[in-house]
Structure 1
Amino acid sequence: MTEFATADDGTPIAYEEKGVGVPVLLIAGQATGMRGWGPFADALARDFRVIAYDHRGIDESGLGDPGLYSTRAFADDAVAVLDAAGVAAAHVVGHSMGGRVAQWLAADHPERVRRLVLMATTSGDRSAARRDPAAVADLLSGDLGRMVPLFFDDSWASTHPADVDRFFTRTASRPALRGHFAASRDHDGADVLARIRARTLVVHGTHDPLTPLPHGEVLAERVPDATLAVFNAGHGLHLDTPDVLEAVRAFLLPEGQRAASRAG
């Protein structure tokens, strides 16, 4: 069932939850709805209370002022969701732009973050590696034929059409899409990373055309208590690479529960 948090400016933020246990907050990428987490969220819900939400301007959440969109402001929306769900602190998993948002959440509100997972994301340090302009053009094209290969393995995409459709399908106005793109593009967390106190897992793919691997390496170097896990994958590695799910679960589960979950 969809519920609503209220952001500081009064914007309604839609969220849903499933499962029981320690809360895990999922923060989606640029202009991606909460249902895009698909089987990743479903799998985590076997061990955790999983909370996912729509960024402002996406699907059921309110628009707010797109001219004020930023990854730091989006982190305040995440806090509003935690408050509405009655969660004092949660594990936080952010993908792509959601990882940028998660950096601000962990730095500005350290008491709200238990453990942190940053997947296929960047601090915004442009010296790490440049995006391929062709990949950016494909991302902004709106053409699924051009977008899907940026994220997913061809064979996985062909055998999981419903999950691919759920990932890319969302409702958003042009001002919202422009605001999301600007927020993601302008993220600059290079000076924020040292303030992150949560134990952190950085998850990255070796052939990510949207966020090349050096960005993950920078995060792992600069976040004080971080570990880098590298996979033979692209930008949508949390969906098409089973080992990513297992790495995240292993990182978030206590050792005793991890063994019991494997046995089950």
Structure 2
Amino acid sequence: MRSAKSVLSLLCFWLAACSSQNTSSIAKFETAIIGGEAALESDLVTRSTVSLIADIGGMPVSVCTGVLISRNLILTAAHCLVDFERMPVTVYFGATLPVTMQDPGFVGVAESTFHNQYHRVKDGWGRYVTSLNDIGLIKLAEEVPAAAEPVAILDQGPELQQGTQFLLAGFGIINELGKAQSATGLNKTRVPFVRREGSVLVADHSAGQGACRGDSGGPAFLETSQGLMLAAVTRGAHAGSPNCRNFGEYTSVSYHKQAILELALQMGAEAPQFKTVPSAD
């Protein structure tokens, strides 16, 4: 059994919040919603957005975000799951984060996996600046709450237009400048899409709104006449930015459609739905 000290050290590594002196790399969990607003229990984003909770000495700590894409399948970022054996997480549904591990809303995890070609990319100075194939899946071991609702995924189609709004949701910090300020529940905001860089969608955070630490794996939705559709999941800051107020990176889900369907099949999970959006949207 790991000591409390070793568990805490691992969590600090995950959140990169225990030291401001680490300039050799970008935080592993480098992305939370800043400049946004609290989501309500009745909001559509709350029905499908979940928190990934680690049990730290009997206390629940939200380390990442995920999104329900079928009745028993959560999509998140691969970097949220690479240390699953050392730091297992459970899934929590609800607009307000739990204060004990006995709070209602927890759903057990059967297994997790991530893209077999996931890897992190360094720049010329050895700093981690992005991740490729940053897609992970969690199969649930129990039924989801009655209010939960899987969201459809945007299928491949016409390229997104610059300025298209992403509706973000996540359980991460709400202020990363100075002493980080943790969220007490789900928050949401909107940011404009800027450009695509391969499988990564870049959004503008310069208005002081966007994803930050703890939002990794959370959804970037499109609001359409067919309801919310998942376009991407939060990856991290763009180009090694030291904060969350420049540009953010979001992993395109449709780009990884085949991998997601194959992994879901391997896990014996219900497959997600991919849908196209009418051009009028």
- For normalisation by structure 1, the TM-score amounts to 0.28
- For normalisation by structure 2, the TM-score amounts to 0.27
Bigger proportion of residues as strand: 2
State the structure with bigger RCO (CA 8 A, min sep 6), 1 or 2: 2
Bigger proportion of residues as helix: 1
